[in-house]
Structure 1
């Protein structure tokens, strides 16, 4: 039986894991507090001025409870803080602490190095084409 061709979502998931694993390993090797892939994803979708837990959950495509757990772990690690939302007395914003901003800058640098490493491995033209394909507007999915 011929090998099954993997679909594009599976391949994109593998690519995401490659970056996540490289990022988390580099951050931990650099002395950063260990974080989970979910916590790293939360960090990536957080606005500089702060974001509500509900909005974080929507952006991450996870439950509010999952986002809330990730927030609490990062608050305990000193990377995030909760502050009152000036637009709503009932909500709180999640934002990076000074240590969190530093970790975010470091993560940005690590990801840039991982992109360079990928370009070295698959070739700059393929890496550029991959970026162009992912940045192109895809439109809504077909029903």
Structure 2
């Protein structure tokens, strides 16, 4: 149980970021092809992209980056032969980002590495803790704009 004084604890956001980097670094190392080219951000994009493709704006939103940043990453991965940008059959105004066959292979590899890392984490900290962590992270956290700073400052 946490103490009343949280000043000695690291912020939860920092711990989550460190955990995210642990996963992302391992996935990136497995995706590199010797010539480089696949960055941690690229690995995140490959794991987040719907296998059936998705509009660039949806991809940016899902990754939590700006549309120009997503656009740049997509075109870098397209240059590596992992993605294509094609007309959206549902909307003449937008384009879909889709995986190439090589991109599908890399995405599958990334997801397999994530599964292996989750199993490794269960070995390190225990399956029950990993299950509890997953359960907590799968909960709907709500909109960040709805967070009332006065209630959290009062310990409510």
Deviations 1:55-111 (A, max 9, x none): 211111211110011000100010001111112222211100001111111111111
1:7 aligns with 2:6: no
Count how many residue pairs are aligned between Structure 1 and Structure 2: 140
1:37 aligns with 2:40: yes
TM-score relative to the length of structure 2 = 0.81
- Consecutive unaligned residues of structure 2, counting only runs of 5 or more, are 1-6, 149-156
**For the aligned residues, what is the CA RMSD?**
1.9
1:132 aligns with 2:135: yes
Q: Greater Rg, structure 1 or structure 2?
A: 2
Distance in 2, matches of 1:124 and 1:140, equals: 30
Which residues of 2 match residues 110-125 of structure 1 at below 5 A? 110-125=113-128
Distance in 2, matches of 1:18 and 1:82, equals: 30
Distance in 1, matches of 2:142 and 2:72, equals: 33
Change (3 A) 1:32 1:102: farther
Distance in 1, matches of 2:125 and 2:108, equals: 26
Indicate the residue corresponding to 2:31 in structure 1.
27
- Consecutive unaligned residues of structure 1, counting only runs of 5 or more, are none
Distance in 2, matches of 1:40 and 1:131, equals: 21
Shift of 1:49: 2.1
TM-score relative to the length of structure 1 = 0.88
